[in-house]
Amino acid sequence: MKYYLTTPIYYVNAAPHLGTAYSTFAADLIKRYKKMEGYDPVVLTTGSDEHSLKVERAAQAAGVNPLAYTTKMAAEFISQWARLGIDYDHFIRTSDPKHHETVRWLFERCEKNGYIYKGAYTGAYCVSDEAYVNDVTPGEPCPACGNPTETVTEENYFFKLSAFQKPLLELYEKNPTFVKPDHRRNEMIAFVQQGLNDLSITRTNIQWGIRAPVEGHHVFYVWFDALISYMSAVKDDDFWPADLHLIGKDILRFHAVYWPAFLMAADLPLPKQVFAHGWILHEESKMSKSRGNVVRPGPIVDVVGADALRYFLLREITFGQDGSFSYDALIQRYNSDLANGLGNLASRTLTLVQQNRNGLIPDSPGSPDIAEAARRTTEMTMDAFCAFNFSRGLETLWSFLSVIDKFIVERAPWKLAKDDSGFAQNMLDETLYSAAEALRIICAWVYPVMPNSARNIWIQLGMKTPIESVTFADLHWGKLVAGQKIGSVAAVFPRLDASAIAKMELLEVQEKARQAELFGAAKAVAPAAAATLEAAKIAIDDFVKIDLRVGQVVSAERVKGADKLLHMKVDIGEEQPRTIVAGIAESYPPEEMLGRKVVIVANLQPRKLRGIESNGMIVAASLEGGKPVLAGFLEDVPVGARLK
């Protein structure tokens, strides 16, 4: 039986961050889990949402045509998903002609069934959310995101959403799992019960979009474009309807109200389920480009690996609720659960088999108590994963892991090994078999969450079948074959210390600069940034107005022909690092400055030193007749923090 699931398709005007990677990680997990459950094929679609006024403007700001812009951005998403090891089947781009055809086809079906009419709209529009905003005067902030709204007056085509109030309420009633989690379903019911307004689904003020098959210049509203990509991606195969749309809670209304209404109007099958997860928060608010608090997954993956990041996000945060990310919490969980937990169990068990049984799995049915605990663990993990409660599933597995740890300590195989009696040797066989078999079962369960590490342990266990082909039937106790030769033993999760955080932070700064350049952000934000700078200039005696910030040095080099000068790029939490030239080269060689946190005066007028424009000043103690000593912090402080 097939299983078709989707991630949202991502706006291409921002690079992937932990928030967007979260949907994708979870979808990859579910794909692997559904395969274990026996579905075949399991097909995962992701993609890029490329049309809109926002993208049109971003491309303009970057000085390129929209297709060239979105092609570059879609390539960035594809390469980031590869870096994170995402196993998707289709990457659909809304600029793909195949998708355009599907959108027009669906529109024509709705039109034929009498759900489309021509009307006029004047009111407020939020470019950031790509949505008309009721109850505000144009120009006022959008109640959803706070960005200013714009006035639009348009004659466009409307979709009769109002006709679907009853059918939608019936859908939620008849199919109570259509929207998950339950509290989100209740929100949707309450929303639809209030009554639905018809929806304007074409725009005349945009060029960069799908042309509607009507007279005059009309392009489709982004949501009557993006949602349909789920169908376009599998149009040539027989995969529609989707079994699951996995999304964040902010886009639930589009998926649980508009989308089924479009499909009902077109007389097409509905997806079976929409699951809305919560938000990843950072520094106490939703991680998002507009808030400027994003953390990119790439640098984390380079230091701790994709598996550890996936594990952290899925273990730490109950799926469906909001949860916070911090580097500290990531490293703590890594060390406690992965290095000391799973990694330690694997190396301990395999080393014992190596040392005491020449690397061969002993012949024993294993301990009945452990077998029973394994059975219960499988049952509970299956229930949890089935309900997409991954944190509970992982918690269950880690409780089992502690049972095994305790069991090994109590049995003390190192003592049994010294006792030649038949009883002791049988006990040793039973102990080693139980630990190895438990490890195999844990490994199979961990695979959807941490595919690479699970595969690694699987191979060390000497398993012959690929872990990718494991199904529920393989999870029964006793499937580990006696006499199997284990592979060579190596640490899977080496312990990490605080330097890992410094490394991730430094790579993050570099990645941010790379992406800012790629996305043309410098050009897009330059006028605003320049205006802020201008407004912030102060008189020197007005000390409280001095904008002092924590910065981190991203690059440093000597200025040719000037012994005292260092030319640095310093990240102070803006889109791009600042260029700062400072007279500290005699005390601080460039290599010592790399990654160092410093205090910057951020609102001084720029000045040129040896032809290089310095945009800020680095704060140092200036000693009479001595060399400068940089101001710093004893505790760790976030880049961009203000000093007051």
Q: How far is the CB of 227 from ligand MSP (least distance, A)?
A: 5
Contact pick of 45, 95, 288, 396 for ligand MSP (by CB under 6 A)? 288
Residue (250 or 474) nearer to ligand MSP, CB: 250
Per CB under 6 A, does 227 bind ligand MSP? yes
Q: Is the peptide bond before 269 cis (omega within 30 degrees of 0)?
A: no
**Per CB under 6 A, which of residues 554..593 are in contact with ligand MSP?**
none
| Cβ-based neighbours of 524, under 8 Å, separated by 6 or more | 58, 61, 62
The CB-based long-range contact list for 465-470 (8 Å cut-off, 24+ gap) reads 467/443, 468/32, 468/35, 470/36, 470/444
Per CB under 6 A, does 248 bind ligand MSP? yes
Tokens for 43, please give them. 């097909």
> What's the distance, Cα to Cα, between the start and end of the chain in Å?
62
Name which of 295, 282, 290 is nearest 509 in CA terms: 295
Distance CA 257, CA 307 (A): 35
Q: How far is the CB of 512 from ligand MSP (least distance, A)?
A: 16
Distance CA 416, CA 422 (A): 10
Residue (26 or 553) nearer to ligand MSP, CB: 26
Distance CA 263, CA 55 (A): 27
Per CB under 6 A, does 232 bind ligand MSP? no
Tokens for 398, please give them. 């880690």
Per CB under 6 A, does 179 bind ligand MSP? no
Tokens for 125, please give them. 């529009």
For ligand MSP, which stretch binds (CB under 6 A), given 104-112, 282-290, 497-505, 630-638? 282-290
Residue (132 or 407) nearer to ligand MSP, CB: 132
Burial category of 495 from C-beta neighbours within 10 Å (exposed 0-12, middle 13-18, buried 19 and up): middle
β partners of residue 42: 3
Give a three-class secondary structure readout of 557-604: EEECCEEEEEEEEEECCCCCCEEEEECCCCCCCHHHHCCCEEEEECCC
Q: How far is the CB of 43 from ligand MSP (least distance, A)?
A: 17
For ligand MSP, which stretch binds (CB under 6 A), given 15-23, 170-178, 192-200, 417-425? 15-23
Q: How far is the CB of 94 from ligand MSP (least distance, A)?
A: 9
Residue (279 or 458) nearer to ligand MSP, CB: 279
Torsion of CA 590, 592, 597, 599, to 10 degrees: -60
Q: How far is the CB of 128 from ligand MSP (least distance, A)?
A: 10
Distance CA 100, CA 592 (A): 54
- C-alpha distances in Å from residue 448, one per residue of 34, 71, 137, 304, 377: 9, 31, 49, 18, 16
Per CB under 6 A, does 11 bind ligand MSP? yes
Per CB under 6 A, does 226 bind ligand MSP? yes
For ligand MSP, which stretch binds (CB under 6 A), given 149-157, 243-251, 418-426, 467-475? 243-251
- C-alpha distances in Å from residue 555, one per residue of 71, 393, 564, 580: 30, 43, 17, 10
Per CB under 6 A, does 286 bind ligand MSP? yes
For ligand MSP, which stretch binds (CB under 6 A), given 9-17, 159-167, 449-457, 515-523? 9-17
Contact pick of 58, 106, 247, 454 for ligand MSP (by CB under 6 A)? 247
Per CB under 6 A, does 362 bind ligand MSP? no
Let me know: does 161 contact 261? Beta carbons within 8 Å.
yes
For ligand MSP, which stretch binds (CB under 6 A), given 280-288, 379-387, 406-414, 416-424? 280-288
Per CB under 6 A, does 251 bind ligand MSP? yes
- How many chain residues touch ligand MSP (CB under 6 A)? 20
Residue (280 or 593) nearer to ligand MSP, CB: 280
Let me know: does 486 contact 359? Beta carbons within 8 Å.
yes
Contact pick of 210, 274, 280, 432 for ligand MSP (by CB under 6 A)? 280
Distance CA 199, CA 132 (A): 9
Q: How far is the CB of 504 from ligand MSP (least distance, A)?
A: 18
Q: How far is the CB of 251 from ligand MSP (least distance, A)?
A: 5
Distance CA 255, CA 248 (A): 10
Per CB under 6 A, does 141 bind ligand MSP? no
**Measured over all CA atoms, what is the biggest interatomic distance in the chain, rounded to whole angstroms?**
92
Tokens for 583, please give them. 């007279």
Contact pick of 3, 4, 5, 8 for ligand MSP (by CB under 6 A)? 8
What phi and psi values does residue 327 have, to the nearest 5 degrees? Answer: -60, -40
- Residue in the shown chain whose Cβ atom is closest to ligand MSP: 248
Hey, which bits of 202-346 come out as E strands? 202-203, 219-220, 244-248, 274-277, 280-282, 285-286, 323-324
Per CB under 6 A, does 221 bind ligand MSP? no
Contact pick of 74, 287, 313, 599 for ligand MSP (by CB under 6 A)? 287
Q: How far is the CB of 188 from ligand MSP (least distance, A)?
A: 16
Residue (164 or 319) nearer to ligand MSP, CB: 319
Q: How far is the CB of 12 from ligand MSP (least distance, A)?
A: 8
Per CB under 6 A, does 455 bind ligand MSP? no
Name which of 612, 616, 590 is nearest 603 in CA terms: 616
Tokens for 67, please give them. 């297709």
Q: How far is the CB of 454 from ligand MSP (least distance, A)?
A: 25
**Per CB under 6 A, which of residues 17..76 are in contact with ligand MSP?**
19-20, 22-23, 49
Q: How far is the CB of 609 from ligand MSP (least distance, A)?
A: 40
For ligand MSP, which stretch binds (CB under 6 A), given 16-24, 151-159, 210-218, 265-273? 16-24
Q: How far is the CB of 248 from ligand MSP (least distance, A)?
A: 2
For ligand MSP, which stretch binds (CB under 6 A), given 244-252, 485-493, 505-513, 555-563? 244-252
Helix (H) or strand (E) holding 498: none
Q: Which residues bind ligand MSP (CB under 6 A)?
A: 8-11, 19-20, 22-23, 49, 226-227, 247-248, 250-251, 279-280, 286-288
